[in-house]
Amino acid sequence: MRIWMEALHRSHKRSALGVWLLVAVALSSCGNQTPSASTTPVEPFWQSADSAQDVLDKEELARIEEAIAQFGGKINSVLMMRNGQLIYEQYFHQTSADTPYRVYSVSKSILSALVGIAIQEGYLSGTDQRIAELLPKRFEGRSEPELKQLTVEHLLTMTGGLQAIDPIISEWYRSRSWVDFVLDQPVLAEPGTRFDYNTGLTHLLSAVLTEAAGVSTKELADRHLFGPMQIENYVWEKDAEGYYVGGTALSMTTRDMAKFGYLYLNRGRWEGEPLIPEEWIEQSLTPRPASPDYGYLFWLEELEDSSERKLQTYEANGYGGQHIRIVPALGAVIVVTSNPSVSPANADRLIDEYLVPALAEHPPKVLKPVRRLAQWPAPQMITAWADRWL
């Protein structure tokens, strides 16, 4: 199939180029940037898929690899699954299927899954449960009525009404209590009325899960999510109080990221067993009035071709070009990891213009996103991230 795509460049990424260059200078020691693809033998889970050699023809493969080459040293890995078949997998820069990558805010979507599991297991009563009830000691002496209105729902939808910690994230890192620091921020809006992307809210969720379940967020994941899926090669860092960081600081392999995407594609079922309630999947992918492009810590994106036909997609999206894209209509999961130490990888452009069309039976001539993903962070936020997590 011959596919011709219209070039697309997102203006918010153009404006962020200078910021990325600052990071590149600070992290120039990250290593060789010349692409050198490597493949890894398929492990037993992936071997369960039938051969998919006919899914992508030579022309499509050539287009994909040409697009990856355009991004030079930016892309670390690309993996595509369709209908349970692993049909494309490439690694670059001396990495492999065994390499855990920092996935940054992809962690938020995993936290969303853990909240659904916690409700199913009875650790939480529901999304309307108040945070003050779950973390009572943290609310002692706090008089702001808006704080006492905070619920699990508000944290999941980034509508907590608190000033985001992301622009001052270096101060957050240096604080003695990351939980208290989040709650100490000024109230800007009544909870539920305004979307403000705030990594602090997801760290509150990690603390909530820990206190409600009586085990760490990591142990909860190992018991009910990662364990059943045999996700073992990962690293999750903690704050000074021992809470696993909610919303970032998780490293995973590309294949394990694909497993997580495949779980959502299958409506929460893994090898026939339900790990996440299907109702939770539905709720997680439903936009809210205050955040039409966002569900429960998942980004919602709609693609449109030249005939105005729409294709619904959703994804876990992390800083610097880390993506788990799920396209239900195509039975597809696409994973891209990128090197955040160089200029923007435009991984979403790679996905929208090349990878998704390659999987479509009747690929559109023009594929354009009509909903935007996350805004690029402020320079001081990127510098702090580089110091702490890279």
pLDDT, tens digit (0-9, with 9 covering 90-100), for 109-125: 999 999 999 999 999 99
Burial class (CB in 10 A: 0-12, 13-18, 19+), 349: buried
E strands, 113-215, where? none
Predicted pLDDT of residue 56:
79
Predicted pLDDT of residue 344:
61
How is 73-133 classified by DSSP, letter by letter?
A: TSEEEEEEEETTEEEEEEE-TT--TT--EE-TTHHHHHHHHHHHHHHHTTSS--TT-BHHH
CA distance 187 to 263: 36
Cα–Cα nearest to 195, from 236, 154, 223, 242: 154
Residue 127 is encoded by which pair of tokens?
């999304």
CA distance 240 to 375: 28
Which contiguous run of DSSP H or E holds residue 302?
strand 299-304
| Mean pLDDT score across all residues of the chain | 82
Predicted pLDDT of residue 5:
28
What domains appear along the chain, each with residue ranges and CATH number? 11-103+251-389 (3.40.710), 106-225 (3.40.710.10)
Predicted pLDDT of residue 72:
67
CA distance 276 to 43: 24
Q: What is the DSSP letter of 203?
A: H
**Residue pair 350/68 in contact by the 8 Å Cβ criterion:** yes
CA distance 151 to 183: 13
Predicted pLDDT of residue 46:
66
- Regions of the chain short of the pLDDT cut 50: 1-42, 48-52, 372-390
Segment 87-91 long-range contacts (CB within 8 Å, at least 24 positions apart): 87/52, 87/55, 87/56, 88/56, 88/61, 88/64, 89/39, 89/40, 89/254, 90/37, 90/38, 90/39, 90/65, 91/37, 91/38, 91/39, 91/40, 91/254
**Residue pair 336/324 in contact by the 8 Å Cβ criterion:** no
Predicted pLDDT of residue 40:
45
CA distance 259 to 127: 26
Predicted pLDDT of residue 345:
64
| Model pLDDT for residues 28-56, shown as the tens digit of each residue | 333 333 344 444 444 556 654 444 456 77
| Model pLDDT for residues 141-175, shown as the tens digit of each residue | 998 999 999 999 999 999 999 999 999 999 999 99
Burial class (CB in 10 A: 0-12, 13-18, 19+), 293: middle
